[in-house]
Amino acid sequence: MSTPISSIRNLGPVMEAAFARAGIDSAEALRTLGTDAAYAKLLASGERPHFIAYYVLEMALQGRPWNDCKGTEKDALRARFDTLKAAHTVRPDGMEAILNAIGVIPGAGVRP
């Protein structure tokens, strides 16, 4: 029997649905993966990176209130998040990169 992800403090139905799309379907599976591996799966499934979601996940898996972490601990979490985000950022290549560079897609090119 598996326990719903939404049974974990701070994680509700929206996060539960996002994890399901990433192939994580239980609180047990989420706890086994841990914050970084689980969040990496979210990013790989197409979820947009968001520091607060990552932060809340870390606090949830520790059984702490979502806003409990501060100072150097929070700074360390931000560094971990930035590393995960960079590793899962999809960079355009080929024709899409060329179109972005010349400004065919508004906001995607290099700004003067």
Give how many domains the chain has, as a whole number.
1
Residue 55 in domain: yes
Parent domain of 85: 5-102
Give the DSSP letter string of 68-108. Answer: ---HHHHHHHHHHHHHHHHHTPPPP-HHHHHHHHHTSSTTT
Q: Confirm whether pTM is higher than 0.75.
A: yes
pLDDT in tens, the chain (112 residues): 799 999 999 999 999 999 999 999 999 999 999 999 999 999 999 898 999 999 999 999 999 999 998 999 999 999 999 999 988 875 556 666 666 667 665 554 444 4
Residue 54 in domain: yes
Residue 9 belongs to domain with CATH number: 1.10.150.20
